[in-house]
Chains A and B, each alone.
Chain A
Amino acid sequence: MFDRDIWQEIFFSIRNNKLRTFLTGFSVGWGIFILVMLLASVNGMKNGFTNQFGNDAANSISLFARSTTEPYAGFEAGRKIQFKNSEVDYIRGNFQGFYEYISQTVNRSISARYKQETGSYNVIGVNAEFQKIEVTDIEEGRQLNELDVKNKSKVMVLGRLVVKDLFKEENPIGKFLEVNGSTFKVIGVFSDDDDDRAERSIYAPYTTLQRLYGNTSNINSIRMTYNPNFSLAQALDFSDKVEYVFKRKLKISPEDQSAIRVRNNADGFSDLNEFTGLLNTMSIGVGILILIAGIVGIGNILVFIIKERTKEIGIRKALGARPSQILKLVLLESVFITSISGFIGMLIAMGILGIIGPLINAPAFSNPSVDISIVITATLVLIISGLVAGWVPARRAAKVRPIVALSSD
């Protein structure tokens, strides 16, 4: 393999067949180029999809209660289902290790006033973990903490646009806001990736909202993230389990499809994975078809080169070259040409991706790129291609009888 004589011969043969080597090398390089570009595009689509989550946790699960559509356990259809704090406590108690963060939400529409300015907003009552589930950036002040939730403090974290509406240029931190007749202290301002709707909302401790509005333990939804080490299948299994026990707990028919709505991001991901998997397979198929053309081309050039070198092979055999040594020489040359040209194709593709990749940021397509597994796969494909392409000519060369070879010119 690292034999200087063999390499000397390979370089000689390439130097003497520059054009032919280039043309066939080109076809292999082109094949790999297309393969890498296709796979990178599939990656781009995947990235595009993932980006649509913004910076929110991609492993999130949301549960909403609706009305039943099936009669069950003596209840008629159409019964309204209400989640309470106890549902969240139940998950905390029974699904340790399945979830990562969990929070209830309590939603209220309110009107808020500061000095002369008023406006209507959505207040979302959450706990301190919520910021890990729906990620926001604190611009000023601080996030809600566990103490706020425990003490049912009348504090709020305002969206950037709320501050803009009510406070104009004033610094809102520590100021008091009048909300439906009570007074809340502003402790922070958040922004959320240009999401106007989110930035026009307000966070407060869910406990405070529950106490102020009817002193109930009702909640509007349960939000959580699943264990990030879970596979998609495990994640889906987790939300299925929760749905199942809640249906039993709340006396909902197991067949009822809409009383509890579960939104699991893993769902989208598993569809996406299936889809991009299909695209990947297709890309590899197309790439390999193109590569085959390259392989045939290289096989062809090698048959030519060997024909030209028949006499030399005869001389070598007269000097005691074994067929396996001739075989090795030809195969190595073939693998060398395919690998080098393939790598060039791959480098060009990666260069182009490196330049234009970061520039592309459409909603459905973002940062097309190749990962190391693609590079390794392509390399293996190339070496195997080289072996396949070289096999026929190499066998032919190894088998040629010395007397026949010597008398040819």
Chain B
Amino acid sequence: MIEIKNLHKSYKMGSNSLHVLKGIDFSVEEGELVAIMGSSGSGKSTLLNILGMLDELDEGSYDLDGVPIKNLNETKAANYRNKFLGFVFQSFNLINYKNAMENVALPLYYQKMVRKERQEKALKYLDQVGLKEWATHLPSELSGGQKQRVAIARAMVGEPKVLLADEPTGALDSKTSYEVMDLIQKINDKGNTILIVTHESDIADMCKRIVHLKDGVILEDKKVEQVRASEYV
């Protein structure tokens, strides 16, 4: 599903350049649930952003579902993001003047689905994250955990090949964190490929594979016995 070879990325800051990712080789099969760990500044978000086509790589190659991701124009990149990728952010990133259902329906809007169909599908996904009754509520009327579940519904509604989540539980207490992880595990159970950035080891343990980054290189990459979040909720 994801195939990365010799990935390099630096940020230019004035005359200096900060070498963040220093040659990463990494691949993910369909249906995996991968945690990316590492200390702050190790380049986790940078890696995830490149995987999500929000940022561009400097060197190396990246194939997503067999499609080489390189030198795409913005329109093409938008199409791939829309079709292949779903994002979940630490700060939820819901649009504050749209209600839960409208937020979830937004990727479908960009797929040019008709309004009625969009709403039906958005409601279905809201139902799956247990928030059907909250469909008409604005993000400001939702708790953090609810917001993140809306964000997950929004990420999944377009039926992406890969779900990318940058610290999805970073802003949540441990109980709601486990609820969110339970949801993510259930989505993974259906065969979806998911990558999660986290620096909490209990969250990482709920994945099937843990990748450790340190100073821009992979320190460790191991399969783990998955802890089911449902045991804690």
Give residues in A with beta carbon < 8 Å to B. Answer: 4-5, 8, 12, 311-312, 315-325, 398-399, 401-403, 406
Additional 10 contacts, C-beta under 8 A, given A316-B106, A319-B87, A320-B158 = A5-B102, A315-B95, A317-B81, A319-B107, A319-B110, A320-B107, A320-B110, A321-B110, A406-B54, A406-B89
Q: A12-B97, A406-B93 are in contact. Are A317 and B78 (CB under 8 A)?
A: yes
Complex contact B75–A318 (CB within 8 A): no
Contact status A323-B78, CB under 8 Å: yes
A369 CA to B1 CA, complexed, in Å: 70
Residue from the list B55, B78, B102, B110 in contact with A403, Cβ < 8 A: B55
- Complex: A69 Cα to B79 Cα, angstroms: 87
- Residues of A near B115 (CB, < 8 A) are 4-5
19 A–B contacts from the bound complex (CB under 8 Å): A4-B115, A316-B95, A316-B106, A316-B110, A317-B78, A318-B52, A319-B82, A319-B107, A319-B158, A320-B83, A320-B107, A322-B79, A323-B74, A323-B78, A398-B74, A399-B74, A401-B55, A403-B54, A406-B89
Residues in chain B near residue A398, CB distance under 8 A:
74
In the bound complex, how far is the Cα of B98 from the Cα of A4, in angstroms? 13
B109 within 8 A of A: yes
Q: Check A321 against B78 for contact (C-beta < 8 Å).
A: yes
**Which residues in B have their C-beta under 8 angstroms from that of A402?**
54
Give the distance in Å from the alpha carbon of A320 to the alpha carbon of B81 in the complex. Answer: 5
How far, in Å, is B81 (CB) from chain A's closest CB? 5
* Contact of A319 (CB < 8 Å), options: B75, B97, B102, B106: B106
Shortest beta-carbon contacts, A-B, top 4: A320-B82, A320-B110, A322-B78, A403-B55
Interface of A: prevailing SS? helix
Which residues of chain A have C-beta atoms less than 8 A from B95's C-beta?
Answer: 312, 315-316
Q: Which of B86-104 contact A (CB under 8 A)?
A: 87, 89, 93, 95, 97-98, 102
CB nearest to A321 among chain B residues: B110
Q: Are A5 and B78 in contact (CB under 8 A)?
A: no
Contact A322 B87 (CB under 8 A): no
Task: Tell me, in angstroms, the Cα distance from A320 to B111 when the chains sit together.
Answer: 8
Which B residues fall within an 8 A CB radius of A? 49, 52, 54-55, 74-75, 78-79, 81-83, 87, 89, 93, 95, 97-98, 102, 106-107, 109-111, 115, 154, 158
Nearest A residue (CB) for B83: A320
B81, B82, B87, B109: the one within 8 Å of A5 (CB): B109
A319:B49 contact, CB within 8 angstroms:
no
Alpha-carbon separation in the docked complex, A265 to B220 (Å): 99
Give bound CA distance, A311 to B92, whole Å: 12
How distant is A109 from chain B, measured CB to nearest CB, in Å?
86
Distance of A305 from chain B, by nearest CB (Å): 13
Contact check, B74 vs A322: say whether CB atoms are below 8 A apart. yes
**CB proximity of B165 to chain A, nearest CB, Å:** 12
Contact A323 B93 (CB under 8 A): no
Instruction: Tell me which residues across on chain B come within 8 A of A406, comparing CB atoms.
Output: 54, 89, 93
Give Cα A320–Cα B86 distance, bound, in whole angstroms. Answer: 9
**A319 B81 Cβ-Cβ under 8 A:** yes
Interface-central residue, B75, B78, B79, B154, by most chain A CB under 10 Å: B78
Which A residue's beta carbon lies closest to that of B46?
A403
Residues of B within 8 A of A318 (CB): 52, 54, 81, 87, 93
Identify the closest chain A residue to B164 (Cβ): A318
Chain A residues near B74 (CB-CB < 8 A): 322-323, 398-399
Is B75 touching A322 in the complex (CB atoms < 8 A)? yes
Query: What separation, in Å, do the CA atoms of A231 and B74 have in the docked complex?
Result: 57
Considering only CB atoms, which chain A residue lies closest to B154 in the complex?
A319
A403 to B81, CA, bound (A): 13
Task: Kindly report which residue of chain B lies nearest to residue A5, judged by CB atoms.
Answer: B109
Measured between beta carbons, the chain A residues less than 8 angstroms from B154 are 319
A103 to chain B, nearest CB (A): 72
Q: Which residues of B contact A8 (CB under 8 A)?
A: 98
Contact A323 B54 (CB under 8 A): no
**Contact yes or no, A320 B93, CB < 8 A:** no
Bound form: Cα–Cα A4–B79 in Å: 22
> Complex: how many Å from CA A406 to CA B78?
15
Q: How far is the CA of A316 from the CA of B158 in the complex (A)?
A: 13
A401 and B73 CA atoms in complex are apart in Å by 11
